[in-house]
Amino acid sequence: MTQDVKEIFALPGGPQAGRAGAPPAPAALAAKVRTLAPSMTRSMQRVAEAVAGDPAGCAALTVTGLAELTGTSEATVVRTARLLGYPGYRDLRLALAGLAAQQQSGRAPAITTDIAVDDPIADVVAKLAYDEQQTLADTAAGLDTVQLGAAVAAAAVARRIDVYGVGASGLVAQDLTQKLLRIGLIAQAHSDPHLAVTNAVQLRAGDVAIAITHSGSTGDVIEPLRVAFEHGATTVAITGRPDGAVAQYADHVLTTSTARESELRPAAMSSRTSQLLVVDCLFVGVAQKTYETAAPALAASYEALAHRHRR
């Protein structure tokens, strides 16, 4: 373990050269190379150059590989690593990998452009993921927690909960319903406008009606909400247009975010993501408030499903 450091101390730069930065440089490698270049010998410069020029590529090479690439020897590579402040090549290589990763991730946020017809599939994945993350952040930032709290409070003690949504929003309505049912509440999703209205008539004070519509102007969803509203139920609207028609009949409005859309990226995609986050928040809020009954109910439904899984 006791290393013989004789040689390094005999280098032209003097005793100081090797340890300019006591902690081996993290990312300032290119700078270090430039700084130390004058005190390097020709072969070492070649190595340093290669390393600074293509960190990722060099990280993939062994000492021998890098030595061959630069037309030098293993010993020179190791000496260069030492000069740059690392105990040996192994550690330089590790730092190189880190640097490469940073450069890689730093390049990432360049994806502000829209999805094009000829984008490679990997770009599609990156862009969609990025956009949906953005949508989530926007939604969380724009969500009115007071309104949400009120909606949660009403839902937690409701006799029954009706959820209206058609098209893509219909799936969100079903998602919410499924989860509420799982914690023992009485919830029902309606995507048939006629049945929705027919059912809305049954609602009364203490019940909760939730309408989900991105546009805020979907008649099929507004109508049952209006009926529920007029029958005294607590009404909630989850919409991207808080000033839309649906808001007239809503006691509480939860706003979803609206992202730019395009031909290949229909609005339904980001509105759905946004709606689901709101619905999740609503659900978790209710689950908190009804924890006494919710916890065992969740456990029970989990149990019930276990046997449907194959070994």
Q: Which partner, DNA, a copy of itself, none, binds residue 106 by CB below 5 to 8 Å per kind?
A: a copy of itself
Q: Which partner, a copy of itself, DNA, none, binds residue 168 by CB below 5 to 8 Å per kind?
A: a copy of itself
Q: Beta 252-255 vs 161-164: how paired, if at all?
A: unpaired
- Measured CA distances, 120 to 108, 112, 116, 219, 304 (Å): 15, 16, 9, 39, 43
Is 303 a residue that touches a copy of itself (CB under 8 A)? no
Is 69 a residue that touches a copy of itself (CB under 8 A)? no
Q: How many residues bind a copy of itself (CB under 8 A)?
A: 76
Contact 256, 240 (CB under 8 A): yes
Please, which of residues 197-256 interact with a copy of itself by CB under 8 A?
A: 215, 217-220, 222, 245
Is 77 a residue that touches a copy of itself (CB under 8 A)? no
Query: What is the contact surface with DNA in residues (CB under 7 A)?
Result: 1, 3-4, 6-7, 10-12, 41-44, 62-64, 71-76, 78-79, 81, 87-91, 93
Give the x/- contact pattern for a copy of itself in 94-113, rule: CB under 8 A.
Answer: xx-xxxxxx-xxx-------
Residue entry with tokens 């150059």: 49
Picking from 240, 293, 243, the residue whose alpha carbon sits closest to that of residue 267 is 240
Q: Which is nearer to a copy of itself, 10 or 117 (CB)?
A: 117
Least gap, CB of 12 to DNA (angstroms) = 4
Exactly one of 30, 128, 157, 181 binds a copy of itself (CB under 8 A); that residue is 128
What gap in Å lies between CA 122 and CA 120, rounded to an integer? 5
Give the x/- contact pattern for a copy of itself in 137-176, rule: CB under 8 A.
Answer: x-xx--x-x--xx--x--------------xx--x--xx-
Contact 257, 135 (CB under 8 A): yes
- Residue 146, strand partner residues: none
Q: Which is nearer to a copy of itself, 43 or 177 (CB)?
A: 177
* CA 75, chain centre distance (Å): 45
Q: Which partner, a copy of itself, DNA, none, binds residue 110 by CB below 5 to 8 Å per kind?
A: none
Quickly count: other Cβ atoms within 10 Å of residue 205's Cβ: 9
Least gap, CB of 63 to DNA (angstroms) = 3
Task: Look at the alpha carbons of 250, 256, 257, 261 in this order and tell me if their dihedral is positive or negative.
Answer: negative
Picking from 78, 82, 85, the residue whose alpha carbon sits closest to that of residue 26 is 85
Task: Look at the alpha carbons of 193, 199, 204, 208 in this order and tell me if their dihedral is positive or negative.
Answer: negative
Q: Which two tokens stand for residue 19?
A: 């340890």
Q: Which is nearer to DNA, 72 or 239 (CB)?
A: 72
Least gap, CB of 56 to a copy of itself (angstroms) = 9
Q: Which partner, DNA, a copy of itself, none, binds residue 64 by CB below 5 to 8 Å per kind?
A: DNA
Contact 188, 174 (CB under 8 A): no
How many Cα atoms are found within 13 Å in the side-chain-facing hemisphere of 86? Answer: 22
Q: Which partner, DNA, a copy of itself, none, binds residue 140 by CB below 5 to 8 Å per kind?
A: a copy of itself
Q: Which two tokens stand for residue 216?
A: 């805020």
Q: Which partner, a copy of itself, DNA, none, binds residue 31 by CB below 5 to 8 Å per kind?
A: none
- Residue 239, strand partner residues: 213, 255
Residue entry with tokens 């070994």: 311
Q: Which is nearer to a copy of itself, 20 or 136 (CB)?
A: 136
Least gap, CB of 102 to DNA (angstroms) = 21
Q: Which is nearer to a copy of itself, 34 or 204 (CB)?
A: 34
